[in-house]
């Protein structure tokens, strides 16, 4: 599995961000090909001090190639172009392959990579 994460710093208008994101942006996201799951939150907190982010979005794809194909599709390009309509504070986009573990510290190495 491959995960895409978008971290949104504080916008100029929180209410506009929330409204536009839920009613306009997320419906575009749902049309992206290869998207397996997605989630978001406006309740981002730091373990210490003030969080630098207002919102977070996560998307899951089968692998990096599926994520890249989705982002380069017409739907993916439309999603990327739409960000400027609500994210006045910008957006930090990261992605990574996911390695699974268990509460007892066991790591799933079936992908051939060690990761925790």
- Ordered by start, the domain boundaries in the chain are 2-97
pLDDT single digits (tens) 19-54: 999 999 999 999 999 999 999 999 999 999 999 999
Whole-angstrom distance, CA of residue 58 vs CA of residue 95: 9
Q: Which residues pair with 70 in a beta bridge?
A: none
pLDDT-derived band at 110, boundaries 50, 70, 90: low
Task: Please write the tens of the pLDDT for every residue from 63-103.
Answer: 999 999 999 999 999 999 999 999 999 999 999 999 888 88
Half-sphere exposure of 92 (CA within 13 A, CB side): 9
Q: Select 2-97's CATH number: 3.10.20.30, 3.40.50.620, 3.30.70.100, 3.40.50.720.
A: 3.30.70.100
Q: How far apart are CA 89 and CA 83, in angstroms?
A: 10
pLDDT of the residue at 111: 56
User: Which ranges constitute the DSSP H helices of the chain?
Assistant: 14-20, 26-29, 64-72, 74-82
3-state secondary structure of 14: helix
């Amino acid at each position: 599995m491959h995960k895409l994460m978008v971290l949104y710093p504080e916008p100029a208008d929180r209410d506009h961000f929330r409204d536009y994101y839920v009613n306009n942006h997320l419906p575009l996201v749902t049309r992206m090909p290869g998207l397996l799951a997605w989630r978001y939150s406006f309740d981002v907190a730091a373990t210490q001090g003030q969080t630098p982010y207002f919102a977070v979005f996560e998307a899951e794809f089968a692998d990096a190639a599926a994520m890249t194909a989705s982002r380069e599709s017409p739907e993916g390009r439309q999603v990327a172009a739409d960000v400027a309509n609500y994210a006045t504070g910008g957006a930090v986009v990261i992605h990574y392959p996911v390695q699974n573990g268990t509460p007892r510290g066991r790591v799933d190495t079936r992908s051939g990579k060690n990761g925790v």
